[in-house]
């Protein structure tokens, strides 16, 4: 069963690396026009170049998802460039803290919540009217298995991802009869630059991260991209308000 994406446009935030880049490339490989967005212009432009080299079509828009004016301009630019918006993957996120709750700082809290929660809220706030005007579409937000349960030594990050799940489910119900589906993908540990930064100082932690998944390894960015594309495709038309866990069996234990 092939996925139907003919003539569609996708917007991906946090697309300068990792899961975002892999998903932007996957959308383009399916023939979509892709708006690549990131606060990191160099990374975003590299993603666009990779898409074009592979024969796809993409453009880059720099965006700080914590700024309302940036997000509004991102959606406007998408509509002006391609004339429509069909899918949005709100993936921009900031990495985890690695200490107990009482050891955190207010600045750390504000930074994580600003990107992971406010950023997703602002993106949906501006994407939903565009989708409504068009008659429908799909949004996927990046949550985490840390947003489905407890996450010791990453309480702020966990709280931010619980919030993403709440935003996702609430928006899904609000717009369910308007032709707009809103879902979240919940990865476990994925092999990204963020993962490597978190564990580079202690290789034993990386080994532990692999062992915590019953499949015996961390996930691949392409595996998350595949989940996002499924949640966007027409064949997933009866799926909304869902948290799709891609975790190598970690939450099944």
Question: How far is the C-alpha of 230 from the C-alpha of 216, rounded, in Å?
Answer: 25
Contacts 24+ apart (CB under 8 A), 192-201: 192/17, 192/18, 192/19, 192/221, 193/17, 193/18, 194/18, 194/95, 197/95, 198/95, 198/96, 198/98
Per-residue model confidence (pLDDT) at position 201? 65
Report the domain count for the chain: 1
Q: With contact defined as beta carbons under 8 Å apart, do 36 and 44 qualify?
A: yes
Which one, of 57, 54, 87, lies nearest residue 230 by Cα?
87
In the numeric block, which tokens belong to residue 246? 């891609």
Q: Is residue 205 part of a domain?
A: no
Q: Is residue 239 part of a domain?
A: yes
The active-site residue, picked from 87, 157, 175, 199, is 157
Q: Is residue 196 part of a domain?
A: no
Q: What is the pTM of this model?
A: 0.96
Q: Is residue 172 part of a domain?
A: yes
For the question of residue 157 being annotated catalytic, the response is yes
Q: Is residue 2 part of a domain?
A: no
Q: Is residue 37 part of a domain?
A: yes
Q: With contact defined as beta carbons under 8 Å apart, do 144 and 161 qualify?
A: yes
Look up the CATH number of the domain holding residue 55.
3.40.50.720
Residue 78 belongs to domain spanning: 9-190+222-246
- pLDDT by residue for the chain (253 residues), tens digit each? 567 798 999 999 999 999 999 999 999 999 999 999 999 999 999 999 999 999 999 999 999 999 999 999 999 999 999 999 999 999 999 988 889 999 999 999 999 999 999 999 999 999 999 999 999 999 999 999 999 999 999 999 999 999 999 999 999 999 999 999 999 999 999 998 877 777 666 777 778 888 889 999 999 999 999 999 999 999 999 999 999 999 999 999 8
The C-alpha angle 6, 11, 17, rounded to 5 degrees, equals: 115
DSSP structural state of residue 220: -
Q: With contact defined as beta carbons under 8 Å apart, do 9 and 84 qualify?
A: yes
Q: Is residue 211 part of a domain?
A: no
Q: Is residue 251 part of a domain?
A: no
């Amino acid at each position: 069963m092939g996925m139907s994406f003919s003539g569609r446009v996708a917007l991906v935030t946090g697309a300068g690396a990792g899961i975002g880049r892999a998903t932007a490339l996957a959308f383009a490989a399916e023939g979509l026009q892709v708006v690549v967005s990131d606060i990191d212009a160099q990374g975003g432009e590299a993603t666009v170049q990779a898409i074009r080299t592979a024969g796809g079509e993409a453009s880059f828009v720099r965006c700080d998802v914590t700024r309302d004016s940036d997000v509004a301009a991102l959606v406007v630019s998408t509509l002006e460039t391609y004339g429509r918006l069909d899918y949005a993957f709100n993936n921009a996120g900031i990495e985890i803290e690695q200490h107990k709750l009482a050891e955190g700082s207010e600045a750390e809290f504000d930074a994580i919540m600003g990107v992971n929660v406010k950023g997703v809220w602002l993106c949906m706030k501006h994407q939903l009217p565009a989708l409504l005007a068009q008659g429908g579409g799909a949004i996927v937000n990046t949550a985490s298995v840390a947003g489905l349960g407890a996450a010791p030594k990453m309480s702020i990050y966990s709280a931010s991802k619980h919030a993403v799940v709440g935003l996702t489910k609430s928006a899904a119900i609000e717009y369910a009869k308007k032709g707009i589906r809103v879902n979240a993908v919940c990865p476990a540990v994925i092999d990204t630059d963020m993962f490597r930064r978190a564990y580079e100082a202690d290789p034993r932690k990386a080994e532990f991260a692999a062992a915590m998944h019953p499949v015996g390894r961390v996930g691949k960015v392409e595996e998350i991209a595949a989940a996002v594309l499924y949640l966007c495709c027409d064949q997933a038309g009866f799926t909304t308000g869902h948290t799709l866990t891609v975790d190598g069996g970690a939450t099944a234990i």
